[in-house]
Structure 1
C-alpha cells in the first residue's frame, strides 16, 4: 500500500492562506488551526471510506468555509457506498470527542484549548448535518431522494429544497434571532453555491448519463419505463434511476409496444446525436 492510500494530497485554497496570515496578525492562529484540524479529520473520514471502495480521488481541498474531498465519482457508485462515504465524515467527530475527553482527563493540553475544541467540534458537526447542499446533511437527503425518485428529479429537488432553506435561515438571522455576521456569511455563501449548482444542473445530469453510457454505473435491478412514441430521448432519460438498468417500452398508436434497451438510447443520443428525433423513429431504426 502506498502512503497516498492513507494520506491524500491536501490542497489549501489561496484565500485560506490569506486568512491564516490574518490569524497570525490578530492572535487567532490557534483558534483557526483547531478549526482546520477538525475539518481535516472530517474529510479524512470521507477519504478513508472512499479509498476502501476504491474511488478515484484527487485529494482534499481546505478552504475558508470548510473542506471537500475532490473525487471523480458522480452518481456512478452504488447508493450504499455513497451513503457510507458521506456519513464517514460526521462519524469522525465522535472520535474527536473521545480524543478531547482523553486530553482533558490527562491534562495533556490546556483546559481552555480543549474547551474551545469541544465547542468548535460541536458547531462544525451540527452545521454539517444541516439538510443543505453541498453539506453532508444535504448529500444524505439527496441520496434518500435518489432512492425514491429518478436521478434528475432528485437532484432538482435537493437544490430547490436547499435554496429555500438557505433563504429562510438568512431571513431568520435578519429578523427573528440575534444577528451574527459569521452565520450570515456562511448561509449567503451556501446560497450562492446552490444558485451555481442550479445553473449547472443540466451538465451534472449529462455527466450522469455519460457515465452510464461508458459502463461505469452500478446496476442492481431492472426498471421498466413506458413512453409514447412521440417522446424524445431526454424525456426517457428523465426517468432514469440510480442502481437500475432500464428497459424502455415505446408505445405506438393502437397500444402496440416495442422494447428498447437503455444503451441503445444512450448510444442514439451521444453517438448518433438524435436530440430532436422521436423515440418511435429511433426504435424502428435500431431494431
Structure 2
C-alpha cells in the first residue's frame, strides 16, 4: 500500500475547474464534464507515468478543463529527448482512448450517446493540447525544438512572448468575430494568465536552470565554445548557455589577449564566490 501511495500522484483541482463544475450543474452538462475530466486525467497519467520511469521528481498534478499541469522540478535540466518523451506521452494516451472507445462501442458497454461524447471530447482535447501555446503540449514541444537550437534563455522567453501574443489575439478574435461562449472565453483567458504568470517568474526559472548546471545536473551531448568580451556581465554570458551542451568560454580583452574559462568556474564564481558585480574578464584573477 505504501509503495502504491508513493507512486500515485497528488491531484489538485485548479480554481477555474471549480467554475466549470458549477456551470455544469447549472446548465445540466455534468455528464459532459465527467467525460472531459476522465480523458484529461488519463492524459495526465501518461505524462506522470513516463516522468516516473525517468525518475523525475513530480510534486503534483493540477487538473483544469481540457488539460492539466504536472508540477515538477525537472524543467530545463533533463535531456531534450527525455522531456520530449514525457511531453508526447500525454497525447499518446488519446490513441489508447480511441481503442477503448472502439471496444466500448463493439461490446455496447455504454449507450451510444456516451460513446459519442467520449469520441468528440477525446478529439477536441487531443487537438487542443497540440496547439503550440505554453503550457500546452504543443507549446512544450515547440519550446523543446527552440531550446535545442537556441540558448535556453532566448528559447524560453520567446515561447512565453509568442504564447501570450497568440492567446491574446485568439481571445480578442473570439470576442469580435464569434458569439460569446463563457467556457471558451475562460479557457483562453486562463492560458493568457498562465503565460503572464510564467513571464513574471522567468528570472527565477532561468536561475534555477543555471543552479542545476552548477550542481552538475546538466546532460552533455557536445562541447560548444562561447566567445565573449572581457567586460561582459555574468548574465550576458549565462544567456548564451544551451541545453545538452557544455561550454568553453573564450574571453577577448581590449589588448587582443584571449583567455579560456571553464563553464563550471564561471558558475562557481557566481553562485559560490558571489562575484555578482564583477565582469567576466575580472573573474580570471579569482580563478587563477
Of stretches 166-175 and 110-119 in structure 1, the one that deviates more from structure 2 is 166-175
**Shift in alpha-carbon separation, 1:172–1:198, aligned structure 2, 3 A:** same
What is the CA-CA distance between 1:144 and the residue it aligns to? 0.4
**Shift in alpha-carbon separation, 1:65–1:74, aligned structure 2, 3 A:** same
- What SS does the corresponding residue of 1:189 show, helix, strand or coil? helix
- The equivalent residue for 1:168 is 169
Report runs of 4+ in structure 1 exceeding 6 Å deviation.
Answer: none
Of stretches 62-71 and 124-133 in structure 1, the one that deviates more from structure 2 is 62-71
What is the CA-CA distance between 1:52 and the residue it aligns to? 1.3
- What SS does the corresponding residue of 1:101 show, helix, strand or coil? helix
User: Matches of 1:33 and 1:257 in 2, distance apart?
Assistant: 64
- The equivalent residue for 2:273 is 272
What is the CA-CA distance between 1:105 and the residue it aligns to? 1.4
- The equivalent residue for 2:213 is 212
Unaligned runs of 5+ in 1: none
Aligned residues: 287
User: Matches of 1:117 and 1:32 in 2, distance apart?
Assistant: 11
User: Matches of 1:268 and 1:286 in 2, distance apart?
Assistant: 8
What is the CA-CA distance between 1:180 and the residue it aligns to? 2.7
What is the CA-CA distance between 1:215 and the residue it aligns to? 1.2
CA contact (8 A) 1:100 1:118 kept: yes
TM-score of the pair, normalised by structure 2: 0.93
- What SS does the corresponding residue of 1:2 show, helix, strand or coil? helix
- The equivalent residue for 2:232 is 231
User: Matches of 2:62 and 2:134 in 1, distance apart?
Assistant: 17
What is the CA-CA distance between 1:30 and the residue it aligns to? 2.0
Deviation per residue, 1:63-118 (Å, 9 max, x gap): 35632212121211111000000011001011111101111111110000110111
What is the CA-CA distance between 1:33 and the residue it aligns to? 1.2
User: Matches of 2:140 and 2:65 in 1, distance apart?
Assistant: 20
TM-align CA RMSD: 1.9
User: Matches of 1:14 and 1:205 in 2, distance apart?
Assistant: 27
User: Matches of 1:4 and 1:41 in 2, distance apart?
Assistant: 18
What is the CA-CA distance between 1:199 and the residue it aligns to? 1.4
- The equivalent residue for 2:252 is 251
Of stretches 180-189 and 88-97 in structure 1, the one that deviates more from structure 2 is 180-189
CA contact (8 A) 2:250 2:258 kept: yes
What is the CA-CA distance between 1:20 and the residue it aligns to? 4.0
Unaligned runs of 5+ in 2: none
